[in-house]
Amino acid sequence: MADKADPKPSGDNRPALALHVPEPKFRPGDQADFSDIDISEPGAQPRPDEATKPEDMKELAYGLVRVLGDDNKAHGPWDPKLDPETLRTMLGHMAMVRAFDERMFRGQRQGKTSFYMKCTGEEATSVAASMALASDDMVFPSYRQQGILIARGYPLIEMINQIYSNKGDKLKGRQLPIMYSSREHSFFSISGNLATQTPQAVGWAMASASKGDSRIAATWVGEGSTAEGDFHSACTFATVYNAPVILNVINNQWAISSFSGFAGAERTTFAARALGYGLAGLRVDGNDALACYAAQQWAANRARANQGPTLIEYFTYRAEGHSTSDDPSGYRSAQEREEWPLGDPVTRLKDHLIAIGEWDEDRQAAMDKACAEEVKATTKEAEKNGILGHGLHHPFHTMFEDVFEELPWHLEEQAEQATRERKIKWPDQHPMDGAGK
Amino acid sequence: MNAQTNTPAPVEGEAPDTPAVSSRRINMIEAINEALDVMLGRDDDVIVMGEDVGYFGGVFRCTAGLQEKHGKTRVFDTPISECGIIGVAVGMGAYGLRPVPEIQFADYIYPGLDQLISEAARLRYRSATEYIAPMTVRSPFGGGIFGGQTHSQSPESLFTHVAGLKTVIPATPYDAKGLLIAAIEDNDPVIFFEPKRIYNGPFTGYYDSPVEPWKKHPDSEVPEGYYKIPLGKARHVSEGEELTVLAYGTMVHVAEAVCKKKGVEADILDLRTLVPLDIEAIEESVKKTGKCLIVHEATRTSGFGAELSALVTERCFYHLEAPVERVTGFDTPYPHSLEWAYFPGPVRIGEAIDKILSD
């Protein structure tokens, strides 16, 4: 065994090195102060042509594209100029996401399922962004993009059946709650392994391009997961093959308890990652629904015109815990949410609609109530299919199906074993009724 | 007899439209090249990609000429990123393509493991068949070419341990072509390991003897055109009553040569597919001979031989007349200068045969 080297050999006058371990600015009990965050004026950022070379729009990877001002009006060249009806639809989807999150979180606390993840504060990054895509553009989401499914009209009852892992769950109770999949809605199966979806989205886009298709792909990944090798593979393949893909990085500041500094945020922006790869990079106010829409639309136009991929950083804030298994009061200041300088995305869009005379507080209250009631009624309907661990699930044999296209002998044998065990454990139930704990 | 016989003539598959007609003798590289060529021609959704596979045609020449014939968007080079290669292949499969990525050496496959194990292998299951990963990952594996520890490994048991992956290993040019075509047509992800020591000739393990080219071996007779060999069916290399030998890849030829030299009448099975495994052929043979030798080049502990030994013991115990024996590589990295000390060659196999037969 080699001896440890003397850290300071005699006669060496080189200075001692120091290891830097990042530390967030605020911990529990600290006064949160975000005044040092550089926030661009709404409307101040230029909107280049979609064919612009990445090196000619570098500043957009460091600034912040913003449309909605403190006056609640839309400003500047990034204003997507959406009609009021579209804005109300967008607000409706965001309100529905919030109502759904509230109900499902409560359902987990009531023991109806094992797990849930809210996206509170980040609704615009999925709802508004996905509304800028065509409905058949393929999305490869991470786990906090329920807003895409809601914006694409995926039935709430399918989502709840999946969350309850009940007999109505079309994923047959195999996936952790919220790991949805819907081919019909061009929504890829969600993985629990982080950033794996990013090269997959690039591969899908490469396939679409190789076939002369017109559909593009978009993927969503958290800022923490950009540290995974998969993300860098995705950026490399995207630029090498000029793939028609959009890489959306949701910078919500926190990866469970690790602040964005552990993914490199102390040194540069996540949008700036784009520049080293030769990708177009945009950094956007993620709590500004109009900016989110406009950025995604810009990137979609660029991809569809064979002008190349775009990496978009959405600067936002995870207002709640990572999941139902997380308690953020243990690692961050409770004031952060209140002090967050970019406000709340739902409130900002609502205030904008009111400011342009297309909405009012009464209509908002009525919409919030209608969303809550729809979710409540759908939840009751879904509960008829069962809740996790209380009876109704898919038949035992389905556990062995779909591992392969055809059941090989060893799985057939193991399926027989499971059926035998079931008869011993629950002798009074018919093996094929799909019931039984 | 469930296992197929060794004769190259009978053509498997369901392609009355394009029957394979004439045949000629070719090596395993040419056989693999032909399988890719046939599938690129038959199915517009097949694409071939990997490091150096495009213009250059692959470091082992398996993809030579394919880019020129089928075009740059069907056969192309990739960045040096196994994670990316497998990751984009998952996405291409979700789109509807049938990607055939090459990993230049099996030793390089590890950066792609998460995409294989957590993504490709699980996709059908986790999406309840909404999405599948119909990819075939080709990769040269095994030692015997002085590749040192990073160009010699046999990592097959890492993949046989994963639910949802199929693992296929050919031992002859005839099988390489037919199995590769079947793997590409399969709707599940397939790991297709090519024993690179026998790319050019059937290595017998007597490394100081002159290399015999494939053209002298009857299994180098390969039909032109399309044919396939079903996954999950073993091949009977030789019939015998004295003992059963279970092997795959290079070791099929080494075991056969040792048995021949020793005058042992062995029932040698080339497994061809590890998952799904041809358990019927194994049981039938072991119940006939009562003795079983398992040979693989991979390291011993938790190697696929352990699985085979357990299966044989569980299912044939009352027919066994001697303990099941395993001949494997040692539990060390593959050493460069001591390659032939590591390799489970004729001495190690011969000793195990003597032991089984004397029991």
Render pLDDT for A44-64 as a digit per residue (tens, 0 to 9): 999 999 999 999 999 999 999
Of B123, B129, B279, the CB nearest to A409: B279
Note whether A52 and A37 are within 8 A (CB).
no
Print burial letters for A169-193: b (CB count within 10 Å at least 16), e (below 16): bbbbbbbbbbbbbbeebbbbbbbee
* Nearest Cα residue to A28 out of A304, A248, A327, A289: A327
Cα B154 vs. chain centroid, distance in angstroms?
10
| Residues of B whose CB is below 8 A from A179 | 126
Q: Choose, out of B77, B126, B307, B311, the residue to mutate when testing the contact with A (most A CBs < 10 Å).
A: B126
The verdict on a CB contact (< 8 Å) between B126 and A171 is yes
Nearest chain A residue to B84 by CA: give it. A233
The verdict on a CB contact (< 8 Å) between A203 and B92 is yes
| The pLDDT value given to residue A391 | 74
Q: Would the pLDDT of B10 be above 50?
A: no
The verdict on a CB contact (< 8 Å) between B95 and A175 is no
| The pLDDT value given to residue A430 | 57
| The pLDDT value given to residue A315 | 98
| The pLDDT value given to residue A11 | 66
| The pLDDT value given to residue A12 | 78
Q: Would the pLDDT of A150 be above 50?
A: yes
Tens-digit pLDDT profile for residues A382-426: 999 999 988 788 888 899 999 999 999 999 999 999 989 989 988
| The pLDDT value given to residue A432 | 47
The verdict on a CB contact (< 8 Å) between A402 and B92 is no
Residue B229 CB partners (closer than 8 Å, separation 6+): B4, B12, B13, B175, B178, B179, B182, B272
Angstroms from B40 CA to nearest CA on chain A: 14
Give backbone dihedrals phi and psi of B136, rounded to 5 degrees, phi first: -120, 115
Of A182, A204, A230, the CB nearest to B94: A204
Q: What 8-state DSSP symbol labels residue A161?
A: H
| Residues of B whose CB is below 8 A from A207 | 91-92, 95-97
Nearest chain B residue to A169 by CA: give it. B128
Tens-digit pLDDT profile for residues A290-332: 999 999 999 999 999 999 999 999 999 999 999 999 999 999 9
Q: Would the pLDDT of B235 be above 60?
A: yes
| Beta partners for residue A187, in sequence order | A139, A182
Find the helix or strand (DSSP H, E) in which B295 lies: strand B292-299
| The pLDDT value given to residue A9 | 60
CB pairs under 8 A between A and B: 140
* Nearest Cα residue to A204 out of A248, A237, A228: A237
| The pLDDT value given to residue A390 | 81
Chain A residues contacting B, CB < 8 Å? 138, 140, 170-172, 174-175, 179, 181-183, 188-189, 191, 193, 196, 198-208, 210-211, 217, 229-230, 233-234, 236-237, 240, 402-405, 408-410
| Residues of A whose CB is below 8 A from B75 | none
Note whether A265 and A223 are within 8 A (CB).
yes
Note whether A118 and A178 are within 8 A (CB).
no
The verdict on a CB contact (< 8 Å) between A237 and B81 is yes
| Residues of A whose CB is below 8 A from B166 | 404
| Residues of A whose CB is below 8 A from B277 | 410
Instruction: Compute the distance between CA of residue A237 and CA of residue B50 in angstroms, rounded to an integer.
Output: 12
| The pLDDT value given to residue A389 | 86
Tally of CA atoms within 13 A in the half-sphere of B218 that contains its CB: 6
Q: ipTM score here?
A: 0.95
| Residues of A whose CB is below 8 A from B132 | 405
Angstroms from B107 CA to nearest CA on chain A: 18
| Residues of B whose CB is below 8 A from A188 | 94, 131
The verdict on a CB contact (< 8 Å) between A199 and B187 is no
Is B336 a residue of the active site? no
- Determine the longest span between alpha carbons in chain A, in angstroms: 83
* Nearest Cα residue to B81 out of B47, B121, B37, B114: B114
| The pLDDT value given to residue A156 | 98
Of A182, A200, A403, the CB nearest to B91: A200
Nearest chain B residue to A212 by CA: give it. B73
Looking at B70, B151, B217, B296, which residue is catalytic?
B151
User: Is the model more confident about B93 or about A8?
Assistant: B93
| Residues of B whose CB is below 8 A from A183 | 127, 130-131
| The pLDDT value given to residue A83 | 98
Mean pLDDT of A346-375: 98
Cα A289 vs. chain centroid, distance in angstroms?
15
Instruction: Compute the distance between CA of residue A358 and CA of residue A372 in angstroms, rounded to an integer.
Output: 22
Q: Would the pLDDT of A434 be above 60?
A: no
Q: Would the pLDDT of B340 be above 90?
A: yes
Q: Would the pLDDT of B14 be above 80?
A: no
Q: Where are the beta strands (DSSP E) in A169-242?
A: 217-222
| The pLDDT value given to residue B205 | 94
Q: Would the pLDDT of B2 be above 50?
A: no
For chain A, count helices (H), then strands (E).
12, 7
Taking all residues of chain A, what is their mean pLDDT, rounded to a whole number?
A: 95
| Beta partners for residue B266, in sequence order | B243
| The pLDDT value given to residue B16 | 43
Angstroms from A403 CA to nearest CA on chain B: 5
Residue B190: left if φ>0, alpha if ψ -120 to 50, beta else—which one? beta
Mean pLDDT of B120-134: 98
Angstroms from B145 CA to nearest CA on chain A: 31
Range of weakest confidence among A26-35, A313-322, A427-436, B47-56: A427-436
